[in-house]
Chain A
Amino acid sequence: MTPTPAVELRGITKRFPGVIANHDVDLTVSRGEIHAIVGENGAGKSTLMKILYGMQRPDEGTITVEGDRIDLKSPTDAIEAGIGMVHQHFMLADNLTVLENVILGAETRKGPLLDLAEARRRITELSDTYGFRLDPDRLVEELGVGERQRIEILKVLFRGARILILDEPTAVLVPQEVDELFRNLRGLRDEGVTMLFISHKLDEVLSIADTVTVIRGGTTVTTVDPADVTARDLAELMVGSELPTPETRESTVTDVVQLEVAGLTVRDATGRTAIDDIGFSVRRGEIVGIAGVEGNGQHDLINALLGLVPLDSGRIVLGGVDITHHSTRRRRESGMGYIPQDRHREGLLLPEPLWENAMLGHQRTVPFARGPWIDAKGAKERTETILRSFDVRAPGVGIPAHALSGGNQQKLIVGREMTASPTLLIAAHPTRGIDIGAQAAVWEELRVARAAGLAVLLVSADLEELIGLSDTLHVIYGGRLVAELDPAAVTAPELGSHMTGAGKGAA
């Protein structure tokens, strides 16, 4: 007799206006395994997981957990059944402590009062058992992404989850953080926790998963043992195309400096030096990569370039014009494109239609506006163009942005910024959440634009992407640029060690 599977989905179908997100999906997840789900953007992975977490109701099909048929009306029901979900986007309150974030909504009580001691005890216990190394009293805003990720997982475990859904948990983690996360996940598996894991990084999938299920066009195509397949095989199963690698063709770097930054220093709200005396330049036709573990100042650097934070000192020159004191709007209108790290926080108006989202950041220029008026017709036409040329899969330009899958939202943003023909593109994790097929297309777009003279500042956690695309590579650590490396000569592990501040001597 085979043991009861932890999760059994049978015949799940889910339709949205114009789209069948899931179509007759079958999925069996054994107890205590890490089960990866892969598939291209919009294949229906997140939808399937949201169904299992009670956030969406299936139109058809059954859900069986630990042998019991259950009907999930809401996430509360799912939590009751021992299912927890860590979302694609962090959902933490920055100004609360780890402890407060974890217990929010699941408060332990002694009579009418909060029982913080009990909560702290359980958090410490969980954290120790799984090697999470989290201090319950730290403020979340002081923590890096790796730690935030662990808080999200802890939150779910605290609520008693035995089945964990992780939707693209590694999207902005650098390799070291991924390794640490995977150690934690293996620890959880050894304790009998079942995990469903979504990622577009196929190498990671192969290294962590016990079983891999491929979803394509809303249905499960096949389930394979990772030992039997290569990343290339998986890619072919997903999209029927080969695995792309980012590699720069011949250099197109010109002598014309597009962005010149000198002596840039910024203090954050608490007075801590966020970036310290940063200087570099980006020439037309050049891609300059910034490598670093999240939280070492890359975001502060971007904010400074965009004019969102006051500078302590320093100068920024764009296309020969000193823009140090220009407003964000003036900077953006003088050709500064921006692909944000967090698309929900900085890139989209989620409840608004796609065509209004395509305007964001360009709302005062043709074809989005005419004089003081919004040109809805022009905007819609432009949006159609973006959807077509960047392969954004959406039933129309009028649907709200939240109806797009994560990867398609990202493609919309990339398309919006590229189509506006910027002179400088600040790209933070440009391919975050984008499937490998579309990734290749984005890389190609970047190369074409670069050949046409675009200057790009690239921040990414994907070291292959950084090495493959960049003409020049800087390492940021503790708010300083600590090394400049030749992307043609450096390997990913070398770059990784530089990023932890270890490679200083080697630079």
Chain B
Amino acid sequence: MIRRIATHLQRLAHRVWRVSRRAVLALMAPVLALVFSIAMSSVFLLLADASPLEAYSQMWSYGTRSDSLVSMVNRAVPLYMSALAVAVGMKMGLLNIGVEGQYRIAAVAAAAVGSWIVLPAPLHVAVIIITAAVAGMAWITIPTVLKVTRGVHEVISTIMMNFISIGLTAWLLANWLDSRESSSDLLLATDYIPESGRFPNLNWLIELFGVELRAGTNLHGFVVVAALIGVGFYIVIWRTRFGFDLRAAGINRQAALVSGVDSKAMVAKVLLISGALAGLVGISQMLGSFYRYTVDFPAQLGFTGIAVALLGRNHPAGIAIGALLFGFMERSAQILDLEGIPKEIVTIMQGIIVISVVVAYELVRRWREAQAQREVSREMPEATQSTTEGLPA
């Protein structure tokens, strides 16, 4: 009996060891990249006549304040959605550069519909979210049709759609959705979404832990939806037949075709899913703190999402870490201006991180291969036979 328990424990320990080792190995590349990019950023800071140590310690102490951490999460959620939208395409070798345009259009549509209708609370929120997803999907329809029927590369068509979206959203806002009573209001904006269409915040959750939040800080409730979508992403891609087809088409298109995957249908589905996810990028902030679309609605989230997807290797867990990291950097950079350091330094840092992550993954991959090789050599003494020997011919 005791021996049984002992072997069980031993096995468990072995498993824990294996899993933790895998985790350490998986984290190695990003950590390596982070260290490298901190070093590089220090050079830039020195060039800007600032003390890197001072800057980092300021960023850290400011960035880890409770309200900063809330802001980090709030900033991470849109990046997370954006990166998921990119990643689903990447899994099949499709690059949707048009997330930027898709989420802008979707945000305008969501604000317009949300401020126009009045429904009971949960329904109102649901309608807004669905509107955003559908609008994002609609905006990628043209590139999808062009790709499937004419073979137009999605990178080109989605970039074009980005340009169009900038013009179109500005025009819609100025001519149709402008809610200003007098022209003395400077900010061009839609009407506010009424109370019933706003996503309840999660401040109570934080307060549960006895943390007092500053007034005006609120943790966007949409983070829950984003997390659920992330889990769904994982399940669909790695656990379903659909996901298998998708991955197969991404790894070896011809083999996937032969196995019965309808390549065109698959391309269409994946692009539409990507567009729908992209549509949700702006929703967290809109339903959590702005409650309307304004001309200065956050921009560039679509492009940053590509970087985050690269950082997270198209895996929802990796993307979550990447998005939080970017969120933290962007929030903590706010303090730099007060110190007289241009906060754009953080954008440079983010760029360096992405490049170094790509390099670091490759280095770590090689190192791991060599490591595995060494281990195999150690585990298998001279005398061991090759598996080919002794087996029946």
Q: State whether the Cβ of B225 lies closer than 8 Å to any Cβ in chain A.
A: no
Judge whether B260 and A216 touch: CB under 8 Å.
no
Judge whether B391 and A216 touch: CB under 8 Å.
no
Judge whether B258 and A218 touch: CB under 8 Å.
no
Q: How far is the CA of A346 from the CA of B386 in the complex (A)?
A: 30
Given A15-B380, A240-B393; A373-B260 close (CB under 8 Å): no
Residues of A within 8 A of B247 (CB): 349, 352
Q: State whether the Cβ of B257 lies closer than 8 Å to any Cβ in chain A.
A: yes
Residues of B within 8 A of A32 (CB): none
Judge whether B384 and A346 touch: CB under 8 Å.
no
Given A17-B372, A329-B262, A393-B391; A44-B251 close (CB under 8 Å): no
Given A329-B262, A351-B251, A363-B245; A217-B388 close (CB under 8 Å): yes
Judge whether A19 and B241 touch: CB under 8 Å.
no
Given A241-B393, A360-B248, A369-B241; A327-B262 close (CB under 8 Å): yes
Judge whether B244 and A42 touch: CB under 8 Å.
no
Binds B, one of A202-210, A283-291, A313-321, A332-340: A332-340
Q: Which of A341-391 contact B (CB under 8 A)?
A: 345-352, 356, 359-364, 369, 372-374, 391
Judge whether A364 and B241 touch: CB under 8 Å.
yes
Closest CB-CB distance, B69 to chain A, in whole Å?
37
Q: How far is the CA of A308 from the CA of B387 in the complex (A)?
A: 39
Q: How far is the CA of A42 from the CA of B252 in the complex (A)?
A: 24
Residues of B within 8 A of A40 (CB): 388, 393
| A419-449 Cβ-contact flags toward B at 8 Å (1 or 0) | 0000000000000000001100000000000
Judge whether A308 and B388 touch: CB under 8 Å.
no
Q: Which of A44, A59, A348 contacts B252 (CB 8 A)?
A: A348
Residues of A within 8 A of B242 (CB): 372
Q: State whether the Cβ of A395 lies closer than 8 Å to any Cβ in chain B.
A: yes
Q: Which of B341-393 contact A (CB under 8 A)?
A: 372-373, 376-377, 380, 384-393
Judge whether B386 and A19 touch: CB under 8 Å.
yes
Closest CB-CB distance, A326 to chain B, in whole Å?
11
Judge whether A218 and B386 touch: CB under 8 Å.
yes
Closest CB-CB distance, B373 to chain A, in whole Å?
7
Judge whether A374 and B244 touch: CB under 8 Å.
yes
| B249-286 Cβ-contact flags toward A at 8 Å (1 or 0) | 00110110111111000000000000000000000000
Residues of B within 8 A of A346 (CB): 254-255, 258
Q: State whether the Cβ of B20 lies closer than 8 Å to any Cβ in chain A.
A: no
Given A329-B262, A437-B393; A20-B385 close (CB under 8 Å): yes
Residues of B within 8 A of A16 (CB): 376
Judge whether A59 and B393 touch: CB under 8 Å.
no
Given A15-B377, A16-B376, A359-B244; A329-B254 close (CB under 8 Å): no
Judge whether B258 and A306 touch: CB under 8 Å.
yes
Q: How far is the CA of A262 from the CA of B18 in the complex (A)?
A: 59
Q: How far is the CA of A362 from the CA of B255 in the complex (A)?
A: 12
Residues of B within 8 A of A216 (CB): 388-389
- Closest residue on chain A to residue B257 by CB atoms: A308
Q: State whether the Cβ of A164 lies closer than 8 Å to any Cβ in chain B.
A: no
Closest CB-CB distance, B262 to chain A, in whole Å?
6
- Closest residue on chain B to residue A219 by CB atoms: B386
Judge whether A328 and B262 touch: CB under 8 Å.
yes
Q: State whether the Cβ of A43 lies closer than 8 Å to any Cβ in chain B.
A: yes
Q: State whether the Cβ of A23 lies closer than 8 Å to any Cβ in chain B.
A: yes
| B200-244 Cβ-contact flags toward A at 8 Å (1 or 0) | 000000000000000000000000000000000000000111111
Closest CB-CB distance, A173 to chain B, in whole Å?
22
Residues of A within 8 A of B391 (CB): 391, 393
Residues of A within 8 A of B388 (CB): 19, 40, 42-44, 216-218, 393
Residues of B within 8 A of A356 (CB): 244
Judge whether A372 and B241 touch: CB under 8 Å.
yes
Q: How far is the CA of A372 from the CA of B245 in the complex (A)?
A: 12
Closest CB-CB distance, A60 to chain B, in whole Å?
9
Residues of B within 8 A of A359 (CB): 244
Residues of A within 8 A of B376 (CB): 15-18
Q: State whether the Cβ of A239 lies closer than 8 Å to any Cβ in chain B.
A: yes
Residues of A within 8 A of B386 (CB): 19-21, 23, 44, 217-218
| A204-248 Cβ-contact flags toward B at 8 Å (1 or 0) | 000000000000111000000000000000000001110000000
Closest CB-CB distance, B351 to chain A, in whole Å?
29
Q: How far is the CA of A378 from the CA of B342 in the complex (A)?
A: 58
Residues of B within 8 A of A437 (CB): 393
Judge whether B380 and A20 touch: CB under 8 Å.
yes
Given A16-B376, A43-B388, A332-B260; A374-B252 close (CB under 8 Å): no
- Closest residue on chain A to residue B260 by CB atoms: A329
Closest CB-CB distance, B362 to chain A, in whole Å?
15
Judge whether A328 and B257 touch: CB under 8 Å.
yes
Judge whether B393 and A239 touch: CB under 8 Å.
yes
Task: Report, nearest first, the 6 A-B pairs whose CB atoms are least far apart.
Answer: A329-B260, A217-B389, A218-B386, A361-B259, A239-B393, A437-B393
Residues in B lying within 8 Å of A, measured CB to CB = 239-245, 247-248, 251-252, 254-255, 257-262, 372-373, 376-377, 380, 384-393
**12 CB < 8 A contacts A-B:** A18-B387, A20-B384, A217-B389, A239-B393, A306-B258, A327-B262, A348-B252, A350-B251, A360-B255, A363-B248, A373-B239, A374-B240
